Chains A and B, each alone.
Chain A
Amino acid sequence: MIALNGIAKTYPGAVPVPVLHELDLGIDAGEFVAIMGPSGSGKSTLLNIIACLDTFDRGMYELDGQVISSLNADALAAVRATSIGFVFQGFNLISRSSAWRNVALPMLYTGANAKQRYGRAQELLARVGLEDRADHLPSRLSGGQQQRVAIARALVNDPSVLVADEPTGSLDTRTGHEIMTLFDELHASGRTIVMVTHENDIAARASRIVTLRDGRIIDDNRNTATQGFDS
């Protein structure tokens, strides 16, 4: 489902910073992959490339059989709209919009009408346990609730991959584990998830742990201890 071959990226500048070195990674449908590694090892860069938000210098990236490196800007936007759901560390909700409008935002760009958007947003809010918060502004929601809204938003167009960069990084431990419970459920229902984290206990919830150091994969473990559905 995700195939990265020889992906290399260097940040240009007075002192060019190489971030990814000829990286190979394959992820199958239904996997729950945690990407770990020390700060600055290139986790976010790799995740952004997977989410079609960032470009790379060399290598080939295939998502759902589409060669991403050959797509133009509009086609990339379409891939982001339909194949990717992104969950950020900082939630990234639009503060002037109610919870349901935040959830429905990706549907604007796929041309769904208002009725479809509202219905689908309600469905997803119920899925993350916030059916009674649809009209609340983000400022009236707790951090954990905001992240649930963001997860509902990421799922609203039923993407092939759910991508999350330290989704529990801004939350306290208990709330973080509640979010991970949600991820577990999504994984259990067959959703493909790629998640960056530097917390061991969070990574332990995944079915596979890929460890980066200085832009190279130094470890790739299938975690048989979890209730993996992919092995």
Chain B
Amino acid sequence: MISWSDRVAESVAALRDNRLRTALSVLGIAIGIAAVMIVSTISRGGNHLVFSELETFGLNSVWAYRDWANDSPLERQRSGSGIDSSDVEAISEQRDALGIRDISPIVRTNRNTPARRGSRFANIQLIGANVDYLDIVNDRVIAGRPLMRHDEQQRLAVALVAPDVIEKLFDRNEDPIGKVINIGERRITVIGLLAAKSRDFLSSIGSAGGENANDRMIVPWTFLQRVRGDTEVDHLHIAVNDFDSAALVADDVVGLLGRRHAGNFNYSSETMASYIATTDTILGGVAIVGTIAASISLLVGGMGIMNMMGTAVLERTREIGLRMAVGARQQDILWQFLIEAALISLVGGVIGLLAGAGISVVVVWLTGFPLLPSMLSIVGALCVSVAVGLLSGLLPARRAAQLKPVEALRTD
């Protein structure tokens, strides 16, 4: 029986004999594999980017707020946010029953509130929240300390400050901790620095309300209430225990608020889960379109191999007859052509992989997507290319193997 190394050597010799045609078939497969690689890089990188930005809002987030849209003329005359400190307390007490992990009341100033330090200015947004807020929105304190209970209880004028604000108000070598920032006539002391948060991509497609997350100052919500002189809360920001039950929790909170205010206000909610579902649909659609396009180019590459092997079988019919006449079995002929096809696609696969990786690096560099190389996709691409080669080679190879020796020898 012919050994496998001899089989491969015979196939390599045949491929070398027809360099141009071999090179073209290799190229076809390489393009297909490179396309698959690039689509997978873009799709994985894009997914990761979008989700890391969604994470800056807290993936388990639920927002509950007064909804003016369905107000009757009478209800519309009632002013205020419809949520106050006692609601926060009441919901906090029932958090386990409601499936709530954390809840923070939110009291906000307008965006572009002017902040001043000496002669320097910055437009900022003050966000009044409680000690649990950082956990809800995945904020990190990189210097100083987070908000603490007594900040809340004492309604202290202290703030966690995001990087853009620091950059505008402080010198590079200055330590902002313990320094004072003026907002109106209020003097607010910096107690901690927030890590930078990117929402660039979502902002660039018009989501996230064009929000820059790095111009925030987080202060105790009770401090902003003191400044405003009321007990109102703009909205509630909740993190649920279980991502999948976010909609239920949201409904329960909305119902509870309605009952507590005896139907004087209408309430509504939003969940991150529903945004994520929409995002999944969009990204999934993009991935499918990309995958189809890449698959088509791989298919074309496979058809290139099929065509080349078909031609090779026709051209080498006499050789096939001769090999049979000197003792080759049908399976020996089959394997010779299958190995030729597999070698083409393996080499094409490796070249495509390298080209795809190179182009991926460029794409990542241009788009700012994260580069997420995956061993699975590399091994997968090679397996796919060899499978494409074997499948494309199978038909011509079988045709060759099933030739009758006399008939094969008779052709010229």
Q: Which residue of the partner chain A has the closest CB to B1?
A: A111
- Is B330 a contact of A92 with CB atoms below 8 Å? no
| Interface bits A111-138 vs B (CB < 8 Å: 1, else 0) | 1011000000000000000000000000
Q: Tell me which residues from 141 to 165 in chain A have a Cβ below 8 Å from any Cβ of chain B.
A: 153, 157
Whether B3 is near chain A, meaning CB under 8 Å from some CB there, is yes
Return B411 CB to nearest CB of chain A, in Å.
Answer: 12
Whether B324 is near chain A, meaning CB under 8 Å from some CB there, is yes
Return A102 CB to nearest CB of chain B, in Å.
Answer: 10
- Among B6, B16, B321, B405, which residue has the most Cβ atoms of chain A within 10 A? B405
B324 surroundings in chain A (CB, below 8 A): 53, 77, 80
B13 surroundings in chain A (CB, below 8 A): 96-97
Q: Which residue of the partner chain B has the closest CB to A117?
A: B6
B17 surroundings in chain A (CB, below 8 A): 96
A48 surroundings in chain B (CB, below 8 A): 406
B328 surroundings in chain A (CB, below 8 A): 77, 108-109
Q: Tell me which residues from 182 to 210 in chain B have a Cβ below 8 Å from any Cβ of chain A.
A: none
A94 surroundings in chain B (CB, below 8 A): 319, 322
Q: How far is the CA of A92 from the CA of B319 in the complex (A)?
A: 8
Return A149 CB to nearest CB of chain B, in Å.
Answer: 13
Q: How far is the CA of A151 from the CA of B327 in the complex (A)?
A: 16
Whether B145 is near chain A, meaning CB under 8 Å from some CB there, is no
Q: Tell me which residues from 50 to 93 in chain A have a Cβ below 8 Å from any Cβ of chain B.
A: 51, 53-54, 73-74, 77-78, 80-82, 86, 88, 92
B323 surroundings in chain A (CB, below 8 A): 105, 109
Q: Which residue of the partner chain A has the closest CB to B319?
A: A94
Known: A94-B319, A108-B6. A86 touches B326 (CB 8 A): yes
Q: Which residue of the partner chain B has the closest CB to A80?
A: B327
Q: How far is the CA of A96 from the CA of B316 in the complex (A)?
A: 12
- Among B13, B322, B409, which residue has the most Cβ atoms of chain A within 10 A? B322
| Interface bits B308-325 vs A (CB < 8 Å: 1, else 0) | 000000000011011111
Q: How far is the CA of A97 from the CA of B321 in the complex (A)?
A: 16
Q: Tell me which residues from 1 to 27 in chain B have a Cβ below 8 Å from any Cβ of chain A.
A: 1-3, 6, 10, 13-14, 16-17
- Is B319 a contact of A81 with CB atoms below 8 Å? no
A and B contact pairs by CB, cutoff 8 A, 23 listed: A51-B325, A53-B325, A53-B406, A54-B405, A54-B406, A77-B328, A77-B330, A77-B332, A80-B324, A80-B327, A82-B327, A86-B325, A88-B409, A92-B322, A94-B322, A97-B13, A105-B322, A105-B323, A106-B326, A108-B10, A108-B328, A109-B1, A111-B3
Binding site for B on A (CB under 8 A): 48, 51, 53-54, 73-74, 77-78, 80-82, 86, 88, 92, 94, 96-97, 105-106, 108-111, 113-114, 153, 157
Beyond A53-B409, A81-B327, A94-B319, 12 additional pairs, beta carbon < 8 A: A54-B404, A77-B324, A80-B324, A86-B325, A88-B409, A92-B409, A96-B13, A96-B14, A108-B2, A109-B323, A111-B1, A113-B3
